[in-house]
Amino acid sequence: MDVLIIGGGLAGLVSALELARKGFRITLIEKKTYPFHKVCGEYVSNEVRPYLESLGVDLRALGALVIERFRFTSPSGRMLETRLDLGGFGVSRYTLDYALYQLAEDAGVQFVLGKQVDRVDFDGNQFTAELADGQRLAARLVIGAFGKRSRLDKQLGRAFMEKPSPYVGVKYHIRQGPTHRGFPTDIIALHNFQDGYCGMSAIEEGKYCFCYLTTRENVRQYGSIPAMEHALMYQNPHLKAVFETFEFVFDKPEVINEISFAPKRAVEDHILMAGDSAGLITPLCGNGMAMAIHGAKLVSDVSAEFLQNRISRSQLEARYEQEWQRQFARRLWVGRTVQKLFGAPRLSELAISVFGFKPLLHGVMRQTHGKVLVG
């Protein structure tokens, strides 16, 4: 085959779709089966809306909600609200990923679902991937789109794996209950609490994504996620109102541990990394889905040049690394820097005062968003 893509999230699906439509033989391996939920804020910046629609994604038919305003609250409940310069839309990963999967399948992408890659080796000419069941697959090129953390990261000896991360991500889908109607659908809200922050935005079918980042220490201290939520998140009155008046759709939340925001390399042992595998922006900046989609377009474009024998492998890797850094490195740095202003209650309260100067807030937003991507 021409390209093996490991991981079927946004970056993997978009790059598979792009390359298959260019006439290449693509196999994508995903450890789950579609459709499925992922821990994700489920807000997408409009910087990638034209591009997604050019791929054939009908966002209106999927029920995506228009989001035009940003609301920010401190742990004590102080609130700041402003309009988003570019705006975005809300749609669940369950729905969006499944739509992209169907488009990719129609384009001829071969899917290997419900299986996991244990290791990848490169011999100077081609890659060999070994699956957990012993199956082996060969390809000219491998794109790593396996997300925030994988056993392959450990096999490749990636530097960020050497230092455990303290962060835990938790996601629910919720609905407004009969006693609490009228919560707006055009707002993405960011609610702070001690050592954490929670994003909330509308998605399809009258639901909202309710996704937060906190620390293992918070969960350990209180013994369970529900106990931690009651002890810490309820201190923010806006979060307390959500827990007390909204219906929680999931029987239990989606959870992911050891989320790392440390810098990563875009190329590891000749594998081109895409999406969260190449670098993860803090949820505070709410732009990870758009970055994954944008990065997939970038990796598919440079990969096509290599597969058409227009550039060498070394040129491919150098160009991709350079372009990735140019597009995303500053955005990730700004995200990590801004994140330091939140978590501790006093800093969070101070931050809401600082960002009350809205030109400063809009400036930070622009630094974590890119130019509109078209097909």
Give the domain CATH number at 275.
3.50.50.60
| Residue 204 in domain | no
Please tell me the total number of residues recorded for the chain in this structure.
Answer: 375
| Residue 250 in domain | no
| Residue 249 in domain | no
Say which residues have a Cβ less than 8 Å from residue 256's Cβ, sequence separation at least 6. Answer: 39, 148, 149, 168, 169
| Residue 344 in domain | yes
How many distinct structural domains can be found in the chain? 1
CB of 281 closer than 8 Å to CB of 45: no
Q: Give the pLDDT of the chain (375 residues) as one tens digit per residue.
A: 899 999 999 999 999 999 999 999 999 999 999 999 999 999 999 999 999 999 999 999 999 999 999 898 888 888 888 888 888 999 999 999 999 999 999 999 999 999 999 999 999 889 999 998 889 999 999 999 997 777 888 888 788 777 888 889 999 999 987 666 668 899 999 898 988 889 999 999 999 999 999 999 999 999 999 999 999 999 999 999 999 999 999 989 999 988 777 778 899 999 999 988 887 766 655 678 998 999 999 999 999 999 999 999 999 999 999 999 888 877 777 766 766 665 566 666 666 665 554 555 555 555 555 566 656
| Residue 235 in domain | no
Residue with tokens 């910046």: 45
| Residue 20 in domain | yes
Nearest alpha carbon to residue 266 among 324, 311, 319? 324
State which residues form the domain around 118.
Answer: 3-164+259-367
Other C-beta atoms closer than 10 Å to the C-beta of 311 total 17
3 state SS of 109: coil
| Residue 307 in domain | yes
| Residue 332 in domain | yes
Other C-beta atoms closer than 10 Å to the C-beta of 157 total 10
Burial 264-293 (b: 16+ CB within 10 A, else e): bbbbbbebbbbbbbbbbbbbbbbbbbbbbb
Other C-beta atoms closer than 10 Å to the C-beta of 246 total 21
Looking at the DSSP bridge assignments, the partners of residue 119 are 130
Q: What is the pTM of this model?
A: 0.90
